[in-house]
Structure 1
Amino acid sequence: MKLRFSKMHGIGNDFVMLDCRDQAFSLREAQIRAIADRRTGVGFDQLISIEPPRDPSCAFYYGIWNADGSPSGQCGNGVRCVAAWLHREGELAIGDTVRLESPSGPVTVRLSNAHEVTVDMGVPSFAPSEIPFRADLQADGYAIEVGDETLMIGAVSLGNPHAVALVPDLHAPALFRLGPLLTAHERFPEAANAGFVEVVDRGQLRLRVHERGSGWTLACGTGACAAVAVMRQRDEVDDRVRVALPGGELTIEWAGPGQTLWMTGPAAFVFEGEWLG
């Protein structure tokens, strides 16, 4: 099977991009896992297909699959790469604003230049049933047993479920053990992206994310949005925050509950290739 692809990344969160505008996406789960393998395949955190829209109000649809072959509802770094990819294909001009369709619904993107994109990530949802998260009542924080520790987390959806834990030190060895356990915790019936956040000041956070289906990543766009949403709910940060992840920095703007959250960051091309698996 010959499969043309583009390799891209958004601050280290890397993707295989497939052009499915004229042919239907047909990869099976095992094929996705084979391409994702960083030793015997291409390697990626997520695979993204760019397809005709299902929703006529949108210009294109993009599908998202994690490295283990499971589908994902949203990917903040990925949608910026979709916009940059469309620009290179002549489908989107610098300065344009376009509505794209994700598995979780429409998003609006604005191309600032060939390498920087601003994305309307929608309104964060804290309702446990919408995340989904098992809790009797909605709260700003939840005590949750993870391994042999009790963590206080915030839970929120940005098109996929997130658990956000405030920690004093992002390099504490325990985090590498707690991340996978929090991702797979039974209170998140569809698993979750586990974010560990350190507050530098009201305008800056540091963040590491263990993603469901992909593990520890250099960056997670929806994770950065989730961290800001949870910290702003607690009045720990202002309405414009720089989020530093291992792969780089994103700017998140959120006026507060009921308002749209905006993310700005880069998108980069790495290489073009052909999969012969």
Structure 2
Amino acid sequence: MIPFRKMHGLGNDFVVVDARAAALPLPPARIAAIADRHRGVGCDQFITLERPGAGADVFMRIHNPDGSEAGACGNATRCVASLLMAETGRGQVVVRTVSGDLPAERLPDGIVQVDMGHPRLGWREVPLAEAMDTAHLPVALGPVRDAAACSMGNPHATFFVEDLDALPWLELGPQLERHPLFPDRANIGFAQVLAPDHIRLAIWERGAGPTLACGSGACATLVNAHRRGLTGRRARIDLPGGTLELEWRPEGAVLMAGPVATAFLGSLDPEAYPA
């Protein structure tokens, strides 16, 4: 049996397992089966804690619910950081991912803040299929067009809309995720700017579909909104699951802060899921 912890940040939920002592029998197909909300435990991402090597407190491996591996997940980083801070008794930790090291710290009132690093703005870094200005992509589908793109360790495209409530984004998201311009697919954000420091956001996550929150998507949205001159460098971003506070510092780092929670603890038999 493998112990696990079900955690979430604003409803963006994760199954977290600890493989620091030994590798676990969890190939991608088995992870996808565990992540299934009807026949498995269910989650937006499956998180495996591994030994980090020097310079970090843990290595966090991220799998989408389809079994594919992701490079970054801001809300999962905050959840894992909270575990490490409770484990070590420290107020600051470093979480290593395939996309880089992410420092995190505990703030008052149960808030965890993570430094998500610098956004990558070049077309190859997103990546896109061809050279172009990443602040204005020639992508259009139905009522949305002219996205802005960046990478926060994974590819994001943001469409700015007048009325999020009137937008059929659940229909648009899966088509845009697989647009030919995105060779690795993309996370798709639909953002309504309410004020220079306030944004409403809905996210269609690559490999996961609609989620209550997406930390890296919120970071990308602030970056893209500021690049377009729609907001300042700080903003409150309201997602279906709650609110995150974001800051894109002039030196380049994007800070994201919000609450985390443990829903329950459990154990699973890996042999009960197909590999």
TM-score in terms of structure 1 length: 0.93
How many angstroms does 1:173 deviate by?
4.6
2:261 aligns with one of 260, 265, 268: 268
Per-residue CA distance 1:227-276 (angstroms, 9 max, x = gap): 000000111111210000000000000134x5111111111000000112
Look up the SS of the partner of 1:242 in the other structure: strand
| Counterpart for residue 104 of structure 1 | 99
| Counterpart for residue 259 of structure 1 | 252
| Counterpart for residue 145 of structure 1 | 140
Letter in 2 for 1:134: A
Contiguous gaps of at least 5 residues in structure 2: none
Per-residue CA distance 1:132-158 (angstroms, 9 max, x = gap): 012323342112133x56611001000
2:131 aligns with one of 130, 133, 136: 136
Q: Is the 8 A contact 2:85 2:93 kept in 1?
A: no
Residues 112-191 of structure 1 mapped to structure 2, 5 A cutoff: 112-113=107-108, 115-146=110-141, 151-191=145-185
| Counterpart for residue 48 of structure 1 | 47
1:91 aligns with one of 82, 88, 105: 88
Residue range with higher mean Cα deviation, 124-133 or 171-180 = 171-180
Percent of pairs identical after alignment? 40
| Counterpart for residue 81 of structure 1 | 79
Q: Is the 8 A contact 2:144 2:161 kept in 1?
A: no
Look up the SS of the partner of 1:130 in the other structure: coil
Look up the SS of the partner of 1:229 in the other structure: helix
Letter in 2 for 1:206: R
CA distance in 1, matches of 2:129, 2:175: 16
How many residue pairs are counted as aligned between the two chains?
Answer: 270
Q: Is the 8 A contact 1:87 1:114 kept in 2?
A: no
CA distance in 2, matches of 1:25, 1:113: 35
Change (3 A) 1:87 1:255: closer
How many angstroms does 1:114 deviate by?
7.6
Per-residue CA distance 1:183-220 (angstroms, 9 max, x = gap): 11111100000000000000100000000111000000
Q: Is the 8 A contact 1:243 1:252 kept in 2?
A: yes
Contiguous gaps of at least 5 residues in structure 1: none
Residues 194-205 of structure 1 mapped to structure 2, 5 A cutoff: 194-205=188-199
CA distance in 2, matches of 1:175, 1:137: 25
2:236 aligns with one of 242, 255, 259: 242
Change (3 A) 1:19 1:180: same
Change (3 A) 1:115 1:51: farther
**4+ long deviations beyond 3 Å:** none
